[in-house]
Structure 1
């Protein structure tokens, strides 16, 4: 019989840390995605609270505002990992969140004198701060999660993405229509961010041993699990040495490019809905801000629920041997891309007399697209467990460039918010991109370790290159000998004559 492991209390500090990470995503996503509702409220006071200023921004200027966050966000992805490694997740996440929270509260004041340009500058600065967040979350989970609980706790923390978007859409609409008007969106976003920072500063700890609240049993359980895993990794590292990154092999890998194209296409369709849904529902479906808030949030509630549904179904299919990992990934990704593509086209042909059907199709779009996480997001681990972090950094940076472009395209195409035909072009383009992305993934994507994942890949490549160089030099030397011999024969022939 094996001794039962003492894991500490049923709800311990590791669960609290996971919950704090979940809340960090929620409060940062509130600040990140409240702009979709805010710009509608700030440019159309009739549907919100008319007691606050209204700005005459055209669609292109609104698009710059929605896009500007990602101008800064893509610049600090890799820096976040470096700061977390140097200073720890506790201080880095604190700085990331407090910086974003204090900037968002400046918007009502700065916009009054700086216009949409000031709004863009603030959102770009917010993006710079929030770029630190996710590298810290992943590092913090690695330090706190026992190996057997890592997937579960990691998945729970990351559900903050859908919950944060849901809260941003819903709360922002209610606040804009309330007595505090659209400025209240920014005050509340700042307030919850600062509140999280206070709680994080009290309870957050880089390592379990640094926590003032952890019990001895839970500490031993976490450290034993993580240390045994790290000892195995260190033994392997000692045997093989540091694994160099095969940059050339990665950048010339067809499956890797298939994954990157797929993730960029998914980001295109998803970001179109995230940033433009409130404007579409207000302009074409003629919804007031309160109903707009509710119906804008419903798709993300669906997505939050569907993320767990996909996870359970995929686990059953894999553990029971019903489908291979390749079959699961490609099938789920096809559903997550093709169905939303059809739903997007369907939404574009509806008008204000078909609001219920429009909301149902939007829920289907965002909810079913939640399968893309299982379908393609974690494909980096399939391709290369040894270099998954590098691959994720590249893919995540590329896919976050896309949300810069989608609002700008909407600004070019949609000149009148109420013109359904202009919105049809936007949604049809997104639907086509969804389809192209999945076709590329199904045709060229792979769910097996690539040759360049092997620890000795670079050594074998160098050996092969040396052999080729040696063979080439041998052939060159042999050719030189033949030329010399021909010259000698020619010289002897001349002498004989």
Structure 2
């Protein structure tokens, strides 16, 4: 079947995820700008958490500048550990509501949750410059944590949506396209941030831009999004039947919801394998978009514009290679060259092994920006294959509970991932120009990725679990005279 509303929903989810990841990833470059100001900046604010110094800062730049933020933009002097705490705070907020978010999405659907998350993120981004100016880094940390709380439902919501919209033969391509919003959102967050910070709007304009972006996408998704084919007002009967028959899902036509089989889900080796693989990938991703801007600034000594460009370029390459790997894995599954399980493990291998080698190479490479950037680009180009590996694997296991399972996996990932910037802060110990300490950091990230990859390859599976299909469970229970506890009427 050709282009349809399942593709439209995928495009909408792509823009939602792009906006979300733009907000999530721009902070690394924004902090560099906030600490450095711009070329016209003559004002320094040393500790905005103290009222006396705060009053002096307001006096130096003028009351109207404190309201509207025009040049000269204030420069904030927060140490490296304070900045790393800010970067880690998003992950802390993100992890706190992961499992509850999965259950909320499971019950109420994707549309409400993703729209609400984008609105929260947009409003907070818009008001952050005032908070940073008048409050200090602790207040910014709190706001970033709230943004993380808001985005906690994103992956669960998107996985639930694809559990309702994406047939197996199209699953890698549809999910890869939507989750391609991650690398492209990172490109926007890193590339535009550098240019905006160096432009007349300065670093305050960075926060306003991402605030407006999130609010705009939220409005569009609210009016065009739908939780399932059965709830879409304009989808054709042919496309709806095609999707529902492929997924054995008719949720849109019945007033029933499935009770989560927690014991079976948590004991499933496939879910365990995905969660462990997710930890390695999450640690790598968080390090890339939170620490690489600092690495480019302090070790490679590139200016703010070049910093955003060079840090964003690998993620732009990821966006393109994402399409190739998703097409390749779907073709392998459709033509049955490999089982679904082996196809997912192949994608995981393509994405992980070159990434680990790239990280180890960065530990030894000389201070040559061309060589360093080439290694980072090649590493990220391959790493995107994991989206057709473990990330889609969770939907293969149980499409009806994809949102719940990915929320558990994301919870575990973010518990460890929130520590990545903190670990980086302790490894670097404010000596951020020391290339030897950066080498240690790259080895830690590569080591984590290697261990989690080996576990996934050893125990991972993509077989559909019996507890995914309540009707089949009901038939089996009728034959044995047992009651099916999974099917409840609301």
Q: TM-score, normalised by structure 1?
A: 0.78
1:244 is displaced (CA, Å) by: 6.5
Give distance in 2, aligned partners of 1:19 and 1:115.
38
Partner residue of 1:27?
19
Match of 2:426 in 1: 412
Is there any run of 5+ residues in structure 2 with no aligned partner, and where? 43-71, 481-490
Task: Give CA deviations for 1:205-263 in whole Å, capped at 9, x if unaligned.
Answer: 56778878x4xxx44334444565687768xx99xx99765544544455543332222
Segments of 5+ residues of structure 1 without an aligned counterpart are 464-497
For residue 126 of structure 1, what is the aligned residue in structure 2? Answer: 147
The answer as to 2:330 corresponding to 1:315 is: yes
**CA distance in 1: counterparts of 2:41 and 2:199, whole angstroms:** 7
What is the CA-CA distance between 1:171 and the residue it aligns to?
0.6
The alpha carbon displacement at 1:331 in A equals 3.2
Tell me which residue corresponds to 2:94. 73
**Does the alignment pair 1:376 with 2:393?**
no
Q: Say which of 37, 43, 48 aligns to 1:45.
A: 37
Could you tell me which residue of structure 1 aligns to residue 75 of structure 2? 54
Correspondence 1:438 to 2:440? no
Q: Following TM superposition, by how much is the alpha carbon of 1:316 offset from its aligned partner in structure 2, in angstroms?
A: 3.5
Structure 1 residue 433 displacement after superposition: 1.1
User: 1:370, 1:48 → 2: CA distance?
Assistant: 39
Q: Which has the higher contact order (CA 8 A, sep 6+)?
A: 2
Q: What pairs with 1:245-394 in structure 2 (closer than 5 Å)?
A: 247-352=262-367, 354-384=368-398, 387-394=401-408
CA contact (8 A) 1:33 1:168 kept: yes
For the structure 1 residues 267 and 87, does the alpha-carbon distance in structure 2 shift closer, same or farther, using more than 3 Å as the test? closer
2:121 and 2:150 in contact (8 A); partners too = yes
Work out the CA distance in 1 between the residues paired with 2:281 and 2:94: 18
CA contact (8 A) 1:31 1:168 kept: yes
Deviations 1:76-129 (A, max 9, x none): 334445555665544433321111101011211111122110110000111111
Which residue matches 2:85? 64
1:221 paired to 2:242: no
Equivalent of residue 161 in structure 1, options 167, 182, 203:
182
Tell me the distance in 2 between the aligned counterparts of 1:323 and 1:146: 18
Task: Give the 3 Å change call, closer, same or farther, for CA 326–275 of structure 1 in structure 2.
Answer: same
Moved more, 144-153 or 265-274: 144-153
Q: Who is 1:487 aligned against?
A: none
Match of residue 137 from structure 1:
158
Secondary structure of 1:285's match?
A: coil
Give how far 1:375 is off: 2.5
Q: CA RMSD in A?
A: 3.7
| Equivalent residue in structure 1 for 2:207, among 186, 205, 208 | 186
Distance 1:181 1:254 in 2: 50
Query: 1:84/1:370 Cα in 2 relative to 1: closer, same or farther (>3 Å)?
Result: same
**Alignment size in residue pairs:** 448
How far the C-alpha of 1:64 sits from its partner, in A, is 0.6
| Alignment check: 8 A CA contact 1:303 1:370 kept | yes
CA distance in 2, matches of 1:329, 1:206: 26
Give CA-to-partner distance per residue, 1:429-462, whole Å, 9 cap, x none. 11111111122222333344568778789999xx
Give the Cα–Cα distance (whole angstroms) in 2 for the partners of residues 375 and 136 of structure 1.
Answer: 19
1:266–1:152 distance in 2 versus 1, CA, 3 Å: closer
Confirm or deny: 8 A CA contact 2:91 2:414 kept in the other structure. yes
Equivalent residue number for residue 441 of structure 2: 426
- Who wins on radius of gyration, i.e. which is larger? 1
Q: In the superposition, relative to structure 1, how do residues 245 and 13 fare at CA in structure 2: closer, same or farther (>3 Å)? A: closer
Any idea what SS the aligned residue of 2:389 has? Answer: helix
